[in-house]
Amino acid sequence: MELNIKIDNCIDCPEHQVLSDPDPYDWFCDDDVKVICKINNKTITCACRPHHIRKECDIPEWCPKLK
């Protein structure tokens, strides 16, 4: 049995990684994060508020899984 899963956001992909990305000059943004693609180590989003991750992680044109 083959299982196909549609991914329409980088957060749903197992190849994403969320890392800390604090703003050293803004105490309010010390919990900011960045999301990178583990396949090609490119940044999907940075300086992102944690509660906005899904909104800021649309699949980019350079996604290696689109090819």
Q: pTM of this prediction?
A: 0.86
Q: Report the phi/psi class of residue 25: left, alpha or beta, with left for phi > 0 and alpha for psi in -120 to 50.
A: alpha
Mind listing the pLDDT tens digit for each residue in 8-59?
999 999 999 999 999 888 888 889 999 999 999 999 999 999 999 999 999 9
Distance between CA atoms of residues 35 and 2, nearest Å: 29
Paired with 17 in beta bridges are: 36
Query: With bands split at pLDDT 50, 70 and 90, how would you rate the model's confidence at 1?
Result: confident
Which of 60, 64, 51, 62 lies closest to 18 in space, CA to CA?
51
